[in-house]
C-alpha cells in the first residue's frame, strides 16, 4: 500500500482546483488560476495575499514536471521570480523549488540562461576579511564576496514550505568560487545559507525533458566555471614540453651539422670608386654535395666608418637556377661623451635554405663607400650550417594558442567581476 502523494483542494477565492504536492510541508500555496496566495495549513485555505504581482511570468520548467538531477528524482513544485535593482535597472531571476519526499527540497535558479543547482546548508560558514573584502572558507575552498543586494519577490506560483508573499524582501550576499556559489539570505526572522553549483542549461533541459533547446546564456555569470583557465594551465605545461623538445632538437642539430666549407676566396681588394661594370666578377665553380641542405655565405669586409654592399647571385651550372640576394656590411665607431661606441659588424652571414647538391658559382657585384681607396674583403661558402631561426619561429608559433587561451581566461574573469560590487571602472565607489 502506498500513501497518496498529492492532496486536492479548492481555491476559496475563485473555486479552481489546486493540487498540493508537498502536503504537510507546504505553508503557502498559490492558486494557479487567480494567483491568490493561500495558507496551505488552514483547512479553509484562507487568503494570505490576493494577486498583486505587476506582471505574470511563465516558468520554463512547468510545475509538476519531474526530472532526474544527478541521479535523483525531483519534482518542480514552486516557482518565484525575484529581482534586485542596481542603478535604477531591475535584474530578475527565476527560482524553482524542487521536492522529493525522500530527499526534501532543492532549488534551481536561472538568470539570463545561466542555471544553478542550489541546496540549503545547515550551519552558517565562517567568514573572514582580507583587504576589507569578505571571503568564506568552506570545505577548503575560498569563496570571494561578489555582491550584496536586496532581493524582492515579484511573482510566485506553486507551493512553498514558508510563507511566501509578493513584495517580500531579503538581503542577499553572494560569494563565489566557480563553479560554486555560497549565498546568504537575511530577513528579520532568519538567516539561511545555500550552496549553488553552476549547471549547463542543456543539462536542465535533458533532466526535465523540456522541449526544444535552452536559450543561449548571455554574459558571464558570477560562478560560471572558466573553461579557459585550466586549459591555459595545461597548455602552458604542454608548451614547456615543446620548449624542451625543441632545445633537444637544437642540440642535436648543433652536434650533427657538417659545416663543410665548399668555397672560399682569398683576401682580395677592390676599389670602391671604380665603375660598377669593372667590379663585377664570377667565382670559380665549386661543388655542393650531399642531401639538400642550407648554404651559408659569409661576407667579411674590412670597412672602417663606412659600408659595403655585395649583390650576389648563386647559379646552378646544370639547371641555371639562380638565387639572388644582397648583403650589406657596415661598421662605424668613434668616441663621444659616453666613451667608445661602435655600430654594425665587419662580418655578415646569409643562409640560403634548401640548396640541392650540384655545381655552382657565385656572381658578385661589390659596391662600397669607405674613407679608404681599397677595401679588403673575403667570401666563404659553407654547407649545412645550424641556424636557430626556424626553431625560434616554431617556438613563437606554438606559444600563440596558450597565449590566446590565457587572454580568453583573463577576459572571462574581468567580465565576471564587472557585474560584481568590485567592478574596476565603477565611478561611484572605491573612494574610501
Partner 1 sequence: MTARTAACPNCGATIEFRWSSAVQTVCPYCKAVLVRRDVDLEKVGMVGDLPPTSSPIQLGTEGRWQDDGFVVVGRIVYRYDRGGWNEWYLRTMRGESAWLSDAQGDLAISAPARQPGLLPAATHLRVGQWYVIDDTRFRVASLTRARYAGVEGELPFTTWDRDESLFADLDTEGSGDALRFATIDYSDDAPAAYVGEYVELEQLAARNLRRIEGW
123 belongs to the binding site for partner 1 (CB under 8 A): yes
| Of the candidate residues 34, 69, 92, 121, the single one contacting partner 1 (CB under 8 A) | 121
372 belongs to the binding site for partner 1 (CB under 8 A): no
* End-to-end CA separation in angstroms for the chain: 66
| Of the candidate residues 15, 101, 326, 358, the single one contacting partner 1 (CB under 8 A) | 101
Interface segment toward partner 1; rule CB under 8 A; list 50-58, 122-130, 223-231, 292-300: 122-130
163 belongs to the binding site for partner 1 (CB under 8 A): yes
* 8 A C-beta contact, residue 179 and residue 185: no
Residues 97 and 157: their CA atoms lie apart, in Å, by 10
202 belongs to the binding site for partner 1 (CB under 8 A): no
395 belongs to the binding site for partner 1 (CB under 8 A): no
Q: What is the 3-state secondary structure (H, E, C) of 192-250?
A: EEEEEEEECHHHHHHHCCCCCCCCCCCCCCCCCCCCHHHHHHHHHHHHHHHHHHHHHHH
Residues 330 and 348: their CA atoms lie apart, in Å, by 9
| Of the candidate residues 92, 138, 236, 352, the single one contacting partner 1 (CB under 8 A) | 138
Q: Give me the phi and psi of 197, to 5 degrees please.
A: -125, 130
24 belongs to the binding site for partner 1 (CB under 8 A): yes
105 belongs to the binding site for partner 1 (CB under 8 A): yes
189 belongs to the binding site for partner 1 (CB under 8 A): yes
Helix ranges (DSSP H) in 329-419? 389-418
* 8 A C-beta contact, residue 315 and residue 358: no
Q: Residue 46 or 238: which CB sits closer to partner 1?
A: 46
Interface segment toward partner 1; rule CB under 8 A; list 23-31, 145-153, 387-395, 416-424: 23-31
* 8 A C-beta contact, residue 6 and residue 158: no
Smallest distance, partner 1 to C-beta of residue 127, A: 12
Q: Residue 162 or 391: which CB sits closer to partner 1?
A: 162
Please list, in sequence order, all residues whose beta carbon lies within 8 angstroms of the beta carbon of residue 256, skipping any fewer than 6 positions away: none
172 belongs to the binding site for partner 1 (CB under 8 A): no
Interface segment toward partner 1; rule CB under 8 A; list 103-111, 280-288, 347-355, 414-422: 103-111
209 belongs to the binding site for partner 1 (CB under 8 A): no
104 belongs to the binding site for partner 1 (CB under 8 A): yes
The site that binds partner 1 (CB under 8 A) totals a number of residues, namely: 33
Nearest C-alpha neighbor of 7 from the set 18, 16, 77: 18
71 belongs to the binding site for partner 1 (CB under 8 A): no
188 belongs to the binding site for partner 1 (CB under 8 A): no
Interface segment toward partner 1; rule CB under 8 A; list 4-12, 238-246, 318-326, 372-380: 4-12
162 belongs to the binding site for partner 1 (CB under 8 A): yes
Q: Count the Cβ atoms, other than its own, within 10 Å of residue 311.
A: 15
Q: Count the Cβ atoms, other than its own, within 10 Å of residue 61.
A: 21
* 8 A C-beta contact, residue 76 and residue 63: yes
Strand stretches in 87-226, DSSP E: 89-100, 104-111, 114-121, 127-130, 133-138, 141-160, 169-177, 180-186, 191-199
| Of the candidate residues 12, 19, 25, 316, the single one contacting partner 1 (CB under 8 A) | 25
3 belongs to the binding site for partner 1 (CB under 8 A): yes
| Of the candidate residues 34, 57, 84, 100, the single one contacting partner 1 (CB under 8 A) | 100
Collapse the DSSP code of 403 into the 3-class scheme (helix H, G, I; strand E, B; otherwise coil) and give the result: helix
Q: Residue 98 or 381: which CB sits closer to partner 1?
A: 98
Question: Which residues of this chain interact with partner 1, rule CB under 8 A?
Answer: 1-5, 7, 22-25, 27, 41, 73, 99-105, 120-123, 125-126, 138-139, 161-163, 189-190
Amino acid at each position: 500500500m502506498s500513501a497518496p502523494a498529492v492532496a486536492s483542494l479548492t481555491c476559496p477565492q475563485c473555486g479552481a482546483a489546486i493540487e498540493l504536492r508537498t502536503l504537510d510541508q507546504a505553508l503557502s500555496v498559490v492558486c494557479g488560476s487567480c494567483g491568490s496566495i493561500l495558507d496551505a495549513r488552514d483547512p479553509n485555505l484562507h487568503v494570505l495575499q490576493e494577486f498583486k504581482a505587476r506582471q505574470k511570468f511563465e516558468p520554463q520548467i512547468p510545475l509538476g514536471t519531474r526530472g532526474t538531477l544527478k541521479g535523483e528524482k525531483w519534482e518542480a513544485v514552486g516557482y518565484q521570480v525575484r529581482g534586485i535593482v542596481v542603478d535604477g535597472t531591475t535584474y530578475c531571476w527565476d527560482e524553482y523549488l524542487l521536492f522529493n519526499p525522500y530527499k526534501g527540497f532543492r532549488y534551481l535558479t536561472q538568470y539570463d540562461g545561466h542555471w544553478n543547482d542550489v541546496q540549503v546548508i545547515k550551519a552558517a560558514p565562517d567568514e573572514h576579511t582580507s583587504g576589507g573584502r569578505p571571503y568564506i572558507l568552506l570545505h577548503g575552498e575560498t569563496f570571494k564576496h561578489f555582491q550584496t543586494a536586496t532581493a524582492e519577490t515579484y511573482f510566485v506560483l506553486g507551493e512553498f514550505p514558508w510563507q511566501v508573499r509578493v513584495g517580500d524582501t531579503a538581503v542577499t550576499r553572494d560569494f563565489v568560487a566557480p563553479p560554486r556559489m555560497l549565498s546568504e539570505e537575511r530577513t528579520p526572522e532568519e538567516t539561511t545559507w545555500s550552496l549553488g553549483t553552476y549547471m549547463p542549461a542543456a543539462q536542465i533541459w535533458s533532466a526535465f525533458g523540456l522541449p526544444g533547446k535552452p536559450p543561449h546564456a548571455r554574459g558571464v555569470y558570477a560562478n560560471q566555471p572558466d573553461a579557459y583557465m585550466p586549459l591555459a594551465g595545461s597548455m602552458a605545461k604542454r608548451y614547456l614540453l615543446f620548449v624542451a623538445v625543441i632545445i633537444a632538437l637544437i642540440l642535436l642539430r648543433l652536434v650533427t651539422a657538417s659545416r663543410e666549407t665548399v668555397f672560399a676566396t682569398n683576401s682580395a681588394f677592390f676599389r670602391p670608386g671604380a665603375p660598377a661594370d669593372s667590379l663585377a666578377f664570377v667565382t670559380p665553380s665549386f661543388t655542393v654535395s650531399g642531401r639538400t641542405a642550407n648554404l651559408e655565405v659569409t661576407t667579411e669586409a674590412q670597412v672602417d666608418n663606412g659600408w659595403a654592399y655585395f649583390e650576389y647571385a648563386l647559379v646552378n651550372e646544370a639547371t641555371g637556377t639562380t638565387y639572388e640576394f644582397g648583403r650589406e656590411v657596415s661598421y662605424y665607431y668613434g668616441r663621444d661623451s659616453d666613451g667608445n661606441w661602435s655600430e654594425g659588424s665587419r662580418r655578415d652571414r646569409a643562409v640560403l635554405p634548401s640548396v640541392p647538391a650540384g655545381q655552382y658559382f657565385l656572381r658578385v657585384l661589390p659596391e662600397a663607400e669607405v674613407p679608404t681607396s681599397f677595401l679588403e674583403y673575403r667570401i666563404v661558402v659553407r654547407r649545412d650550417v645550424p641556424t636557430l631561426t626556424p626553431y625560434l619561429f616554431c617556438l613563437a608559433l606554438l606559444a600563440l594558442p596558450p597565449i590566446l587561451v590565457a587572454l580568453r581566461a583573463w577576459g572571462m574573469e574581468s567580465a565576471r567581476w564587472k557585474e560584481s560590487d568590485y567592478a574596476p571602472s565603477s565611478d561611484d565607489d572605491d573612494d574610501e
